[in-house]
């Protein structure tokens, strides 16, 4: 059930109506039923995976909670009789007990994800390796259809389990309530990845109907649909044409494709997230922010703080910090200082985990070498950014470059955008070789004339569609700039006169109806991040 | 409570404004189509005022003129046909028509019994009929079949064709654009005639028995034609299975349908049979638009003969002097004026 389909609108309408008509005490149950109906629509056979995750995470978390509770009582009773060493040993035993629960649960759930998502990739690469060394071994290559939202609900569940392990909060002892948290339908498809302490209370409490909130939710959904159907799906035509035939198009076209792909991907993903957030808002639930005008970022780390925020935060909290603060990397830091000097050695416990995180972010996007290359590309940029931060600052000082002005800010934004666009070429091109070829052609085969002599009309969109894409992107940019300067669009709109508001609403609705890319003349395209 | 009423009122007002703009935009962007218009204009006929319904695809749409029959024989009829109409559409269209009218006779063109209808490929043809139909359980059933066969198509786009034609804003010259709502009343009563055409010749050995076997009936088409006939039987309506003149027809096909009609217990008339062709006295050089359709001259000639045939065979009523049917006389005047050069 695609977010931009009529079925989803009808489903949301029915779910919301049922939710608000249910007695307050049972509203969360209605929501759970709605979640499972939504998931059933995606395919009954995938339901088993969701159920397996829910059951294992539930029992593991409850067991962890029980161990912690018992430990508190036991430790309180015994601590006066224990010396420092004994307390340390007690803690180690307690941690070991908990890890005996945590690690199998993590392995099981991340294992499902890994097997379904990466087994084909691993097998085909092993086969290639075996063939290279003429070992005469050929493994069967498995290809699984991914259950809807598996990356998202697995990450959300794993985060919950780790937080319970860290005793950040008590485990949920009601199985059905945990099931609701894991399967909340607006976010299960493509995020944002929710945290239990933010989301659970909102899901379990009986939210009341609020016309204002529903209105804001619907407005956000409309805006999401605008970005997806008018911008992203129209941009897709150009992107598919150029990336589909990288040898045919010269460097100027590649630059256009990279830029348009940036627009497409952002419109597609943030559009989907806006629809999810709006749908949740209709039900009285505020999802976490997943984007903050990423293309206005002034550096690559800044970009990653603004793009897919919840995924970045997940990797920060559950991969980066545990690695960076681990005993192993502390030792690496110490050794590094001896071998490479104080400056680099001190940075090693940050740089290596950063690199690992971006490698993981890369393969999270897909089981292909190009995604690994994408991870390395971003990891390298981040590492170089950290390493050359101080020398670069000194250089700026020496050259007397003003950094507190618009032109410097604009330079930073454009520089970041170019680096991001180059990264997008890696993920969108058919392969690593093709992306290298395309980047090379941007340097060697540049012909600016194609932008003026009708070259853009050869990319699958006619002139009217190009104008629609241009104006819609302009609206998108204007809204982003307003938001960046602190304007709350929906709140500002709600303060306007009725007639003005209605004109805006009707213009938005009819823009979608008339200019949306849907129907028989277009190939329906799914949300890109739904595939991750 | 007061706030609630205010909100509700605003929602209703917004919905009304939205609907008005939506409807108007639909009329601007609709793909104008004579066949959809004629299908739609059927609803304007007074209830239970039609004696004969003609159902089927383009040969009957182009070839049968209810107005000629009215002038000559005085019975009322309506053509609810469209180009390459799928038998499933014919069934639904007839079911819907019988909610409005109680005809004495249904004439069913059933050449399509041999064809496999591809709902995905033939979306344009489907829409000629469906865009003219009001939303009803019959239309819903047809659309459901279409969607089941072709998942690119949606119920919504058949309920509100704007969702299908939304991208036509690119084709329209907005400076001269005018809304083109579906036609409300038709003086042609469903007939969409064609002027001009290319001179034709009958193929060699046309309609002579040969050693070639008739093609198999398409199972789905046959099922729907059976259902259509059974629907008429349930309502005590006579059925005439019909084949109208066209060059690509064979004796074996004709015999196969005759056998089928016998099996179903209904009449069959094949206008390409030698004895009928002689009576019709059609001139292939003048009366055909192309190999499969009559032009206006041919349709008038055919309708005169066919009207007489139906009147005698089925003893149809003559309403020409009845007060309630005066609109038919007015419509005929218009028809005569439009076709003056020919008749």
CB neighbour list of residue A138: distance below 8 Å, 6 or more residues apart: A127, A130, A131
Alpha-carbon span A494 to B332, nearest angstrom: 59
Residues A152/A529, Cβ–Cβ less than 8 Å: no
In sequence order, what are the residues at sequence separation of 6 or more whose Cβ sits closer than 8 angstroms to the Cβ of residue A36? A47, A183
Which pLDDT score, from 0 to 100, does residue B121 have? 80
Question: Which of the 8 DSSP states describes residue A306?
Answer: H
Contacts of B340 (CB under 8 A, 6+ apart): none
Whether A249 maps to a domain, the answer reads: no
Domains and CATH numbers, chain B: 31-122+183-338 (3.40.50.1110)
Q: How confident is the model at residue A515 (pLDDT cuts 50, 70, 90)?
A: very high
Is A127 a domain residue? yes
Helix (H) or strand (E) holding B52: strand B52-56
Within 8 A by CB and 6+ apart from B170, the residues are A462, A464, A465
Q: Which residue of B has its CA nearest to A463?
A: B170
The pLDDT tens digits along chain B (343 residues) read: 777 888 889 999 999 999 999 999 999 998 889 999 999 999 999 999 999 999 999 999 999 999 999 999 999 999 999 998 889 999 999 999 999 999 999 999 988 888 888 887 888 888 999 999 999 999 999 999 888 888 888 888 899 999 999 988 888 888 888 888 999 999 999 999 999 888 888 888 888 888 777 788 999 899 999 999 999 999 999 999 999 999 888 888 999 999 999 999 999 999 988 888 889 888 888 889 988 899 999 999 999 999 999 999 999 999 999 999 999 999 999 999 988 766 5
Which residues of chain B neighbour A520 with C-beta distances below 8 Å? 123, 152-153, 157, 164
B153 contacts on A by Cβ (under 8 Å) = 520
pLDDT band, very low/low/confident/very high, at A287 (cuts 50, 70, 90) = very high
Residue A358, CA atoms < 13 Å, CB-side half-sphere: 21
Decide if A519 and B166 are in contact by the 8 Å CB cutoff: yes
Two tokens, residue A530:
């739904």
**CB spacing of B21 vs A510 below 8 angstroms:** yes
At residue A163, the pLDDT reads 95
Average pLDDT rounded to a whole number, residues A417-440: 91
Q: CA of A246 to nearest chain B CA: how many angstroms apart?
A: 29
In whole angstroms, what is the distance from residue B163 CA to residue B159 CA? 9
Q: How many CB pairs under 8 A join A and B?
A: 45
Chosen for mutation from B15, B166, B174 (greatest number of chain A CBs closer than 10 Å) is B166
Determine the average pLDDT of the residues in A152-156.
94
A524 vs B: CB within 8 A? yes
| A191 occurs within a structural domain | yes
Tell me the DSSP string of B297-333: HHHHHHHHHHHHHHHHHHT----TT-GGGHHHHHHHH
pLDDT recorded at residue A404: 86
CA–CA gap between residue B96 and residue B142 (Å, rounded):
11
Question: What gap in Å lies between CA A377 and CA A486, rounded to an integer?
Answer: 32
Whether A527 has a pLDDT exceeding 90, the answer reads no
CB contact at 8 A, A95 and A43: no
**Rg from Cα positions in chain B:** 22
Which pLDDT score, from 0 to 100, does residue A524 have?
Answer: 47
Q: A405 in a domain, yes or no?
A: no
Please name every residue paired with B54 in a beta bridge, in sequence order, or none if there are none.
B79, B107
Closest C-alpha among A6, A430, A378 to residue A257:
A430
**Dihedral angle sign, alpha carbons of residues A492, A495, A500, A505:** positive
**C-alpha distance from B9 to closest chain A C-alpha (Å):** 13
Asked if residue A182 belongs to a domain, the reply is yes
Q: Kindly list the residues from chain A whose CB atom is less than 8 angstroms away from the CB atom of residue B163.
A: 513, 518-519
Q: Do B152 and A520 touch (CB under 8 A)?
A: yes
Closest C-alpha to B280, from B269, B291, B290: B269
For chain A, how many structural domains are there in total?
1
Chain A closest-CA separation from residue B91 CA (Å): 25
pLDDT at residue A526 in the model: 56
Chain B nearest C-alpha distance from A498 (Å): 10
The alpha-carbon gap from A128 to the nearest alpha carbon of chain B, in Å, equals 39
* pLDDT at residue B234, as a whole number: 94
Q: Determine contact, residues B71/B328, Cβ cutoff 8 Å.
A: no
Report the range of poorest mean pLDDT among A43-47, A161-165, A285-289, B226-230: A43-47
Residue A528 has pLDDT above 70, yes or no: no
Verify whether the Cβ–Cβ distance B21 to A502 is below 8 Å: no
Helix, coil or strand: residue B229: helix
> What angle is formed at CA A525 by the lines to CA B122 and CA A227, rounded to 5 degrees?
125
d(CA A274, CA A350) in angstroms, rounded, equals: 33
Closest residue in B to A462 (Cα) is B170
A101 is in which domain, residue-wise? 6-212
- Does A462 sit within 8 Å of B152, measured CB to CB? no
A225 has a pLDDT exceeding 80: yes
Q: Are B53 and B95 in contact (CB under 8 A)?
A: no
Contact B170 A462 (CB under 8 A): yes
How many Å apart are CA A249 and CA A256, to the nearest integer?
Answer: 10
Planar angle of CA A432, A436, A439, nearest 5 degrees = 135
Q: Which residue of A has its CA nearest to B161?
A: A519
Name every residue whose Cβ is closer than 8 Å to that of residue A57 and which is 6 or more positions away in sequence. Answer: A105, A109, A157, A158, A160, A161, A178, A182
How many H helices and E strands in chain B?
A: 14, 7
Residue B87: name the closest of B218, B190, B238, B192 by CA: B218
Closest CA to A5 of A216, A225, A186, A281: A225
- Residue at A374 is within a domain: no
Least confident of A181-190, A450-459, B130-139, B242-251: A450-459
The answer, for A521 touching chain B at a CB cutoff of 8 Å, is: yes
Cβ–Cβ under 8 Å, residues A386 and A350 = yes
d(CA B223, CA A93): 76
Close Cβ partners of B342 (under 8 Å, ≥ 6 residues apart): B195, B296, B297, B300
Rounded Cα–Cα distance for residues A55 and A183 (Å): 12
For B289, phi then psi, to 5°, come to -85, -45
Give residue A138's pLDDT: 82
Chain A: closest CA distance from residue B163 (Å) = 7
Residue A457 lies in a domain: no
Q: Do B7 and A506 touch (CB under 8 A)?
A: no
Token readout for A134 is 């003429």
Does any domain span residue A43? yes
């Amino acid at each position: 059930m695609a977010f931009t389909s009529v079925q989803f609108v009808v489903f949301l309408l029915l779910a919301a109506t049922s939710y608000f008509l249910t007695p307050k005490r049972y509203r969360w149950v209605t929501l759970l039923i709605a979640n499972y109906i939504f998931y059933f629509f995606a395919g009954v056979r995938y339901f088993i995976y969701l159920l397996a995750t829910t059951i294992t995470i539930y029992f593991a978390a409850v067991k962890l909670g029980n161990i912690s509770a018992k430990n508190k009582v036991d430790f309180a009773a015994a601590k006066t009789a224990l010396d420092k060493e004994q307390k340390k040993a007690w803690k180690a035993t307690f941690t070991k007990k908990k890890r005996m629960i945590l690690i199998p649960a993590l392995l099981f759930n991340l294992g499902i994800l890994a097997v379904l998502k990466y087994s084909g990739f691993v097998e085909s690469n092993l086969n290639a390796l075996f063939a290279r060394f003429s070992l005469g071994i050929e493994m069967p290559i498995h290809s699984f259809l991914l259950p809807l939202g598996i990356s998202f609900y697995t990450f959300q569940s794993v985060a919950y389990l780790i937080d319970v392990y860290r005793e950040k909060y008590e485990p949920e002892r009601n199985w059905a309530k945990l099931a609701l948290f894991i399967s909340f339908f607006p976010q299960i498809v493509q995020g944002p990845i929710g945290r239990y302490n933010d989301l659970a209370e909102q899901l379990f409490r009986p939210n009341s109907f609020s016309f204002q909130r529903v209105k804001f939710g619907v407005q956000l959904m409309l805006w999401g649909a605008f970005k997806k159907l008018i911008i992203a799906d129209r941009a897709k035509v150009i992107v598919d044409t150029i990336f589909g035939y990288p040898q045919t198009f010269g460097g100027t076209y590649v630059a256009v494709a990279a830029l348009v792909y940036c627009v497409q991907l952002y419109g597609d993903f943030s559009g989907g997230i806006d629809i999810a957030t709006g749908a949740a808002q209709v039900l009285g639930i505020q999802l976490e922010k997943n984007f903050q005008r990423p293309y206005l970022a002034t550096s690559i780390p800044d970009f990653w703080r603004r793009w897919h925020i919840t995924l970045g935060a997940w990797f920060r909290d559950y991969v980066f910090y545990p690695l960076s603060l681990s005993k192993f990397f502390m030792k690496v830091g110490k050794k590094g200082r001896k071998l490479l000097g104080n400056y680099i050695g001190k940075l090693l416990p940050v740089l290596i985990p950063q690199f690992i995180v971006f490698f993981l972010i890369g393969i999270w996007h897909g089981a292909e070498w190009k995604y690994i290359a994408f991870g390395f590309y971003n990891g390298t940029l981040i590492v170089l950014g950290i390493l050359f931060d101080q020398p670069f600052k000194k250089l700026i000082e020496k050259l007397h470059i003003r950094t507190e002005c618009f032109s410097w800010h604009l330079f930073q934004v454009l520089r970041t955008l170019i680096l991001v666009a180059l990264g997008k070429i890696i993920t969108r091109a058919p392969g690593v070789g093709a992306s290298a070829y395309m980047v090379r052609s941007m340097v060697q085969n540049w012909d600016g004339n194609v932008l003026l002599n009708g070259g853009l009309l050869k990319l699958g969109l006619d002139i009217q569609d190009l104008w629609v894409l241009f104006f819609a992107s302009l609206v998108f940019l204007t809204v982003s700039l307003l938001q960046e300067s602190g304007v709350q669009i929906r709140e500002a709109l709600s303060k306007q006169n009725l007639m003005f508001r209605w004109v805006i609403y009707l213009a938005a609705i009819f823009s979608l109806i008339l200019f949306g890319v849907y129907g028989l003349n277009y190939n329906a395209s799914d949300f890109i991040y739904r595939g991750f | 409570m007061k706030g609630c009423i205010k909100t509700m009122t605003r929602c209703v007002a917004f919905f009304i404004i939205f609907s008005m703009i939506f409807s108007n935009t639909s009329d601007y962007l609709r793909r104008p189509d004579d066949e959809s218009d004629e299908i739609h204009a059927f609803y304007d006929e007074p209830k239970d005022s039609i004696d004969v319904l003609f159902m089927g695809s383009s040969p009957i749409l182009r070839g049968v003129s209810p107005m000629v029959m009215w002038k000559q024989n005085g019975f009322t009829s309506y053509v609810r046909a469209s180009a390459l109409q799928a038998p499933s559409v014919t069934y639904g269209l007839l079911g819907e028509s019988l909610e409005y009218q109680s005809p004495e006779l249904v004439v069913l063109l059933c050449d399509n019994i041999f064809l496999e209808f591809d709902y995905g490929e033939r979306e344009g043809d489907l829409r000629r009929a469906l865009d003219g139909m009001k939303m009803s359980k019959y239309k819903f059933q047809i659309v459901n079949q279409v969607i089941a066969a072709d998942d690119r198509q949606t119920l919504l786009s058949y309920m509100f064709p704007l969702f299908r034609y939304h991208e036509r804003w690119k084709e329209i010259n907005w400076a001269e654009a005018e809304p083109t709502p579906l036609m409300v009343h038709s003086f042609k009563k469903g007939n969409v005639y064609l002027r001009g055409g290319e001179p034709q010749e009958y193929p060699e050995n046309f309609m002579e028995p040969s050693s070639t076997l008739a093609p198999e009936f398409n199972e789905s088409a046959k099922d729907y034609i059976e259902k259509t006939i059974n629907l008429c039987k349930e309502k005590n309506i006579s059925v005439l299975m019909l084949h109208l003149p066209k060059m690509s027809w064979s004796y074996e096909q004709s015999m196969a349908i005759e056998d089928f009609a016998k099996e179903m217990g209904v009449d069959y008339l094949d206008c390409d049979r030698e004895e009928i062709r002689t009576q019709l006295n059609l001139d292939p050089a003048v009366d055909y638009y192309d190999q499969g359709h009559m032009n206006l001259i041919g349709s008038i000639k055919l309708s005169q003969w066919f009207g007489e045939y139906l009147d005698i065979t089925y003893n149809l009523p003559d309403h020409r002097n009845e007060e309630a049917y005066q609109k038919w006389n007015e419509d005929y005047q218009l028809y005569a004026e439009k076709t003056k050069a020919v008749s």
